[in-house]
Amino acid sequence: MAERIGLASITLAALVFTVAPGLSILSLSCFLLLCFIAPFLPRFSFFLPIIHCGRNGVTAVALTFDDGPSPSSTPDILRILARHKIKAAFFVIGRQAAAYPELIHDIIAQGHSIANHSYKHDSLLMLRSYDKLQKDILTTQEILENLGVKALLFRPPAGITNPRLKGVLSKAGLITVNFSCRIFDRGNKNIRGLATRVMNRLRPGDIIMLHDTCPRQESLKQYWLTELDQLFRNMRKKHTILPLEEVIQQPVMSLIQAYKK
């Protein structure tokens, strides 16, 4: 999309320059502004194709968790998901997967799926060079493959993209999947009323983004788990919940070998 809009902006600027120089400058300025804003719009396929909701009229919702796995949160999430018979997709951080391979095994064993969420969730990852961006993503791919999982989807930290990401993902065989329902919980730092906030925003076809991390205050952990339990209960009453691959009609991962113990 960026290439088409850029070409159209340059063409328009060239055509009207002699008669309306101001319009030429405005056309180019709007394109540059769009290039600056686009990376921060998780649903906007500007620099590369982005899947952010159900495809081809699918109205079921999908549940995803970012930033895990973690021994302080993942087992509890898996327990509550099992209670409500919900399958989720876990967009995992590479170094966390390397540190806790048994949790990756548990996620898969319980019927959930795994995707790539960068190596260490660098908030400035999209400002890095092409080589550093590629190394980050491919390192995570290698870690997961060593655990028997080939991730087919990538979610950039905070859903932010850049012009270099398209080429990196193309070489890695990855597709970008972001989200359409986000409650700005700031990595479970803002969990008050989480269940109500999600339900108020949730629409048919949404991909929900939550976090596989514990609140910083240990005293809030049980509150958070209670909110998740309530959320899943309410979701099942009002929406059809399907695995992410069924909602986006795209595989999330493939198993490439027996799990390494």
Catalytic positions, please? 66, 211
As to burial, measured by CB atoms within 10 angstroms (0-12 exposed, 13-18 middle, 19+ buried), residue 255 is exposed
Dist. CA 77–CA 224, nearest whole Å:
10
For residues 57 and 65, is the Cβ–Cβ distance under 8 A?
Answer: no
How many residues in the chain? 261
- The token pair at 159 is 């859903």
Residue 249 Rama label (left phi>0; alpha psi -120 to 50; beta): left
- Measured between alpha carbons, how far is residue 108 from residues 66, 88, 210, 213 in Å? 15, 10, 18, 18
